[in-house]
């Protein structure tokens, strides 16, 4: 995969899947904009590791649920690199609980980051892509956005919403040289899944035909496929990378 001369914006790129995606794209030659909302140290480490591949990296702190912040981030990124060719919507949070114990705030917070944040980034980055009549938009959904999961009404709703937006935007932008796809990870070894209770962890593992958790690098490979020029006739698709969970 040759992405030399292209610029990728990856949200939530300081750790986990976002970090793996940023590193993979950098290894293929893309300059990378590393968005983060929390740890600046983690973001800088990701940037440093990306630069080891001989590309340029820029860290930008931004709360993707805030449209004005996203607009400023996109302007800064485009001003620094001259444009954005690849957008990877990865930033996300969980606030799990059964619905009777889930607060309105917990629901709103997850929807704001996981769904509205994707909308904000899609909206402002697609403006740039329309001008250049080229772009690759890849959003990280989830297997629970396809099949649901007890205790994750808010998270499942947000990730199902990402799939709906992906398919809708794909139809809007297909004639303009811009593809819009999603990757739906299953149970992946990250800080987020590392905090699961052992009982829940074992229950999830028992539902994976492959019998093991995936790695962040597995998701990065799928994202890189969608990011390439050779995938230009693929749009509006959801690729499950889940060891068979959604089968």
Cα–Cα distance measured from residue 59 to residue 46, given in angstroms and rounded to the nearest whole number: 9
Query: Among 36, 134, 155, 233, which one carries the catalytic annotation?
Result: 155
Contact residues for 202 (Cβ-Cβ < 8 A; gap 6+)? none
Q: Among residues 177, 175, 191, which one has the least CA distance to residue 229?
A: 177
Pairing of strands 31-36, 7-10: parallel
Q: Could you say which DSSP state residue 116 is in?
A: I
For residue 88 the two structure tokens come to 């990877």
The yes-or-no answer on residue 134 being catalytic is no
Structure tokens that stand for 81 in this block: 């690199």
The token pair that represents 214 in the structure block: 């995936």
Q: How far is it, in rounded angstroms, from Cα 208 to Cα 188? A: 11
Q: Which residues are catalytic?
A: 155
């Amino acid at each position: 995969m040759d992405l030399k001369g292209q610029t990728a914006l990856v949200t939530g790129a300081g750790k986990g899947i976002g970090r793996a995606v940023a590193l993979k794209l950098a290894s293929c030659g893309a300059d990378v904009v590393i968005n983060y909302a929390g740890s600046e140290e983690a973001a800088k480490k990701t940037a440093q590791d990306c630069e080891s591949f001989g590309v340029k990296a820029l860290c930008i702190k931004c709360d993707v649920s805030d449209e004005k912040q996203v607009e400023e981030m996109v302007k800064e990124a485009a001003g620094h690199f001259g444009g954005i060719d690849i957008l990877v919507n990865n930033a996300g949070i969980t606030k799990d609980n059964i619905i009777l114990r889930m607060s309105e705030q917990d629901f709103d917070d997850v929807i704001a980051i996981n769904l509205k944040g994707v909308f904000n980034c899609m909206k402002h980055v697609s403006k740039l892509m329309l001008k250049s009549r080229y772009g690759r938009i890849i959003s990280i959904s989830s297997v629970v956005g396809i099949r649901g999961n007890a205790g994750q009404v808010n998270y499942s709703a947000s990730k199902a919403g990402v799939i709906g937006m992906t398919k809708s935007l794909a139809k809007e932008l297909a004639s303009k040289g811009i593809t819009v796809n999603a990757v739906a990870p299953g149970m992946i070894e990250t800080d987020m899944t590392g905090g699961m209770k052992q009982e829940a962890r074992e229950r999830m593992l028992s539902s994976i035909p492959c019998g093991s958790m995936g790695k962040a690098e597995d998701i990065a490979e799928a994202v890189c496929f969608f990011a390439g020029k050779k995938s230009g006739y693929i749009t509006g698709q959801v690729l499950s990378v889940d060891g068979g969970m959604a089968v």
